[in-house]
Amino acid sequence: MAAGLILSALWISSPTWILADDRPNILIIFADDWGRFASAYAQVDGPGSPNDIVKTPNIDRIARQGVLFRNAFVGSPSCTPCRSALLTGQYFWRTGPGAILRAPNWDSRLPAFPLLLHDAGYHIGKAYKVWGPGKPVDAPFGQQRFAYEKGGRRINDFSETVTQLVAGGSDIDAAKNELYEEVECNVEEFLERKPKEKPFCFWLGPTNVHRRWVKGSGKRLWNINPDALRGKLPPFLPDVPEVREDFADYLGEIQALDAVIGRVLGLLESRQLLESTLIAISGDHGPPGFTHGKCNLYDFGTAVSLVIAGPGIPPNRVVDDFVQLMDLAPTFLEAAQLPIPEAMTGKSLMPLLRSTSSGQVESGRTFVVTGRERHVAQARDGNLPYPQRAVRTKDHLLIINFAPERWPMGNPYHLDDERAPSSAALEVNTYATFSDMDQSPTKAWLVHHRNQADGKRFFEIAFARRPREELYILASDPHQMHNVADEPQHQQLLAALKDQLLGELKRTGDPRALGDDRFEKPPFTDP
């Protein structure tokens, strides 16, 4: 497989084809830890979820101008492997070191779409996070050679910075505006440096939706009332004041992201670039510090928002096809009239984007495969991963946990000894215990109510060991709460889904399906 990757990379890096001069600009807005939360989804899914509460008019605008994807999923619900898959157009297990968080050195032989666009004459640039954590930082985007961040990086600490500015005497709107202007300054510098004859590709990757945020900032900065979430949280989360406030703060950061998107769209519009720009907006996995979210293969962890608009894309469509974010790399290459490297396992979305249809557009896009290996290194003794793979169809979710004896969210370090973490520690220190769930007030509530009548069930849902196989029937169990893998009436279905999943893993060279234990050894288990 490695040899194939090298050949593909060499083939694409020396362009000899003739390029048209009408290639679109490409703007990618990709946020940390932003799951499937936008007010546009409330309109297509119906009421009863946090999407009723969050307000994202600028994301919704792009959805109206193009396509809202109802079934978009990440390749892995962990920052580095998700981004490795997106940038290379391949399943994360094919990206070598990029398959784990805090990856060792990036394999430069892997074809990465931003550098392919650069080699083909695109003016490329980025602000904030593209790939990582891993070494070198943002390696698939040329590291910092194409960074435009002199205007400032404070958007990445949105609620913290705005709260400080307000404490210093600024009003809330003025404080927000300071941060928006920094982003605009970065984008303006990039556009000013663009040669007139070149199309551009710009990646905007704010990290404000990543933990941690200021407690209560959702209400103070965005007037999101936590009690408005009563009855709208998924059933695996306790519907209590602490968790509602935590989720309201999360939605506040999404609204901050949306406000930034609005400023960038306005900037493109003022320069008469909006109509010639392909715009893709998404995030790298589900919510951090919440049950079933980040680091989980349930929908709450793997389903994400995805809206795309641009030249030649008919507007006002909701597409039901199952897509994975690795599909974006071949999409951008096809939009730029470039050949797609054979190594890419993703499939271009351009046929979906150019179609005038809504609903199911391509008959073959009926499932996605997701997975994960190692997230936090020290989550388990020996720096071992928690290997999982899953297949998601319209009606079912099957998860295989390859090492069910391990703790899915990390070992319960010090949970019942003299070093047991306090609630305050659990709100700020991911590594205190169960390290594959981010620090949060929700995590603190779960751990400190684990032996109480109102908390034991929620604690077990979040942290308990899981069986090797999990099967969920989505028509009756949309939140994936009731595993039916052991029930006799579902054995035929279970076998069919296992064949489908393992067949795709073997077809694409997943070590887990080929008896290769590389992810259990260095460098994948190095500290």
In order of their start, the domains of the chain are 32-362 (3.40.720.10), 371-520 (no CATH)
Buried b (16+ CB within 10 A) or exposed e, 128-165: bbbbbebeeebbbbbeeebbbbebbbbbbbbbebbbeb
- Give the angle 475-476-479 at the CA atoms, nearest 5°: 90
Taking the C-alpha atoms of residue 437 and residue 460, their distance in angstroms, rounded to an integer, is 14
What pLDDT is recorded for position 2?
39
What pLDDT is recorded for position 22?
87
Q: For residue range 17-41, what is the model confidence (pLDDT) as tens digits? A: 345 558 999 999 999 999 999 999 9
Query: Which one-letter DSSP state was computed for residue 456?
Result: H
Angle between helices 158-167 and 241-270 in degrees, nearest 10:
90
Coil vs helix vs strand at 164: helix
Long-range interactions of 179-184: CB distance < 8 A, separation 24+: 179/152, 179/154, 179/155, 179/260, 180/155, 180/259, 180/260, 180/263, 181/151, 182/151, 182/152, 182/153, 182/154, 182/155, 183/127, 183/151, 183/155, 183/260, 183/263, 183/264, 184/151, 184/263, 184/264, 184/267
Coil vs helix vs strand at 109: coil
CA-CA distances (angstroms) from residue 198 to 19, 124, 255, 273? 11, 10, 33, 13
For residue 322, which amino acid is it? F
Taking the C-alpha atoms of residue 440 and residue 427, their distance in angstroms, rounded to an integer, is 4
Q: For residue range 459-518, what is the model confidence (pLDDT) as tens digits? A: 999 999 999 999 999 999 999 999 999 999 999 999 999 999 999 999 999 999 999 999
The structure tokens listed for 433 are 């215990």
Hey, CA dihedral for 414, 417, 419, 420, is it positive or negative? positive
What pLDDT is recorded for position 17?
38
Taking the C-alpha atoms of residue 66 and residue 280, their distance in angstroms, rounded to an integer, is 10
Coil vs helix vs strand at 278: strand
Angle between helices 172-192 and 158-167 in degrees, nearest 10:
130
**β-sheet bridge partners, residue 72:** 323
Long-range interactions of 229-236: CB distance < 8 A, separation 24+: 229/50, 229/53, 231/48, 232/48, 232/49, 232/50, 232/52, 232/53, 233/50, 234/49, 234/292, 234/300, 234/479, 235/479, 235/481, 236/291, 236/292, 236/300, 236/458, 236/461, 236/462, 236/479, 236/481
Coil vs helix vs strand at 424: helix
Taking the C-alpha atoms of residue 299 and residue 133, their distance in angstroms, rounded to an integer, is 24
Place of tokens 């709100």: 427
Helix (H) or strand (E) holding 179: helix 172-192
What pLDDT is recorded for position 21?
59
* Entry field: residues in the chain: 527
The structure tokens listed for 399 are 């998860």
CB of 148 closer than 8 Å to CB of 190 = yes
What pLDDT is recorded for position 15?
39
- Residue 418 makes CB contacts below 8 A (sequence gap 6+) with none
- Give the pTM: 0.95
What pLDDT is recorded for position 524?
96
Spans of the chain below 70 pLDDT: 1-21
Note if the bond before 478 is cis, omega within 30 degrees. no
CA-CA distances (angstroms) from residue 121 to 23, 117, 199, 245, 463? 10, 7, 8, 47, 49
**β-sheet bridge partners, residue 303:** 73
- Residue 391 makes CB contacts below 8 A (sequence gap 6+) with 367, 368, 369, 397, 398, 497, 500, 501, 504
